[in-house]
Amino acid sequence: MERKKRLLFFGELPQDSVHGISIANEINLKMLESGFAIDRIEEYSRLAEHNKVTFNKIIDFIKNSLTIALKSISRVYSYFYLTFSLSFFGSFKSLAAIISFRLFSKGKVVLHLHRGDFFTRFYKSIFNRIITKLVFRLSHKIIVLTENQKKIFENTFNRPFYILPNTVEFEYEPALKTKSNNNFIFISNYLIDKGIIDLLDVFTLLTRHHKELTIKTYGEFSDHKLKDLISSYNSSNIHINGPIRGLQKFKEISHSDCLILPSWNEGQPIVLLEAMSVGTPIIASRTGLIPELLGEDYPFLTVPADKESLEKKIISFINLKDLTDISDRLIDRYRRYYSQKKHAESLNRIFI
């Protein structure tokens, strides 16, 4: 019996870090398990330390770099798979991880980019540009999320890039539902740049005149101060909740009339794919890769960080007479471009 090739993974996973990138990592590793023996080095980034350089992060960085080097010495790997962060500390960490692997292994480095604001951060400083170019040079294959990204990246860096759109953890047959256009849902970690305060402010105003409107929000809180602020919006119309996962998350999305994600910046949010897969209409910001995900002519794209735009789209949705067309459109788009089957085919072409 032929032995499986071996793959070394470094990054965040849902056991400890629950967000879109960690979920995408877990989906990819599960799909790769049939062809590879996988060793995981799990990185844990505390939500309270989001976009911060802390002592804990430095200690974890040193430990992980040593672990990558030791595993590369003791085992023969075909691939080293990791995601790339463009923050000051994150880009340096990615570089150190790749160097730790390549010093002792002949395996190929596969780098995965999830951000929709890559070039905003890339051009922010000379340091970012130098480190990023070096990371790209040391990587054998670089994954992006869309065709447009691939074209722009190849023109800028003169390197080959591979397309791998996100998909969902589970696929369920969309159920027939009675819609009222009044029951909304928000699912994301509670961070200011997810637009959560904008959303709660708008709903507070709207429910004064639309008593039937309700919204449930779900997510992990990043700090106590923000938790207190968000919790203060609790009312008979606004229901603030902790994180939700797995099958229960899909049920809540499926039973809601509309999922709202008014983020200021995004890549390709998995929660939007989850809503698309069960035909739940979406209101989301025209930012990052969301327009490509939903389609440039999608009627419920809002201006990021613009409460007036968000309010208008919600009112427009409330007044929509029939949700069937928009639900069918989202389901069809998911099945054509983002299904698990499509994802597995693209993934296997990269890890050959």
- Report how far residue 256's alpha carbon sits from residue 241's, in angstroms, rounded to the nearest whole number: 15
**Within 13 A of 233's CA, how many CA atoms are on the CB side?**
24
Topology of domain 183-337 in CATH is: Rossmann fold (3.40.50)
pLDDT digits (tens, 9 = 90+) for 194-203: 999 999 999 9
Domains 5-164 and 183-337 share a fold: yes
Query: Who contacts 300 (Cβ-Cβ below 8 Å, separation ≥6)?
Result: 281, 282, 283, 284, 313, 316, 317, 326
Topology of domain 5-164 in CATH is: Rossmann fold (3.40.50)
Q: Is pLDDT at 180 greater than 80 in this prediction?
A: no
Q: What is the pTM of this model?
A: 0.92
Q: Is pLDDT at 212 greater than 90 in this prediction?
A: yes
- pLDDT band of residue 11 (cuts 50, 70, 90) is very high
The SS3 assignment for 335 reads: helix
Angle at 121 between CA 116 and CA 122, to 5 degrees: 105
- Report how far residue 65's alpha carbon sits from residue 100's, in angstroms, rounded to the nearest whole number: 6
pLDDT of residue 330: 96
Averaged pLDDT score across all residues of the chain: 92
pLDDT digits (tens, 9 = 90+) for 79-93: 999 999 877 788 899
CB 196, CB 217: distance < 8 Å? yes
Q: Give 43's DSSP letter.
A: -
Q: What are the residue boundaries of the structural domains of the chain, listed by start?
A: 5-164, 183-337
CA-CA-CA-CA dihedral for 11, 14, 19, 22, to nearest 10: 30
For the chain, what percent of residues have pLDDT higher than 90?
76
Bridge partners, 184 (sequence order)? 215, 258
pLDDT of residue 52: 65
pLDDT of residue 18: 73
pLDDT of residue 9: 98
The SS3 assignment for 218 reads: strand
Q: Give 48's DSSP letter.
A: G
Q: Is pLDDT at 56 greater than 90 in this prediction?
A: no
Q: Is pLDDT at 21 greater than 80 in this prediction?
A: yes
Q: Is pLDDT at 342 greater than 50 in this prediction?
A: yes
pLDDT of residue 122: 87
CB 258, CB 283: distance < 8 Å? yes
pLDDT digits (tens, 9 = 90+) for 228-273: 999 999 999 999 999 998 889 988 999 999 999 999 999 999 999 9
* 5-11/79-83 β-pairing: parallel
Q: Once rounded to an integer, what is the mean pLDDT over residues 126-136?
A: 93
- pLDDT band of residue 338 (cuts 50, 70, 90) is very high
- pLDDT band of residue 117 (cuts 50, 70, 90) is confident
pLDDT of residue 1: 46
pLDDT of residue 86: 76
CB 263, CB 187: distance < 8 Å? no
**Which of these ranges, 85-94, 222-231, 287-296, 331-340, has the smallest mean pLDDT?**
85-94
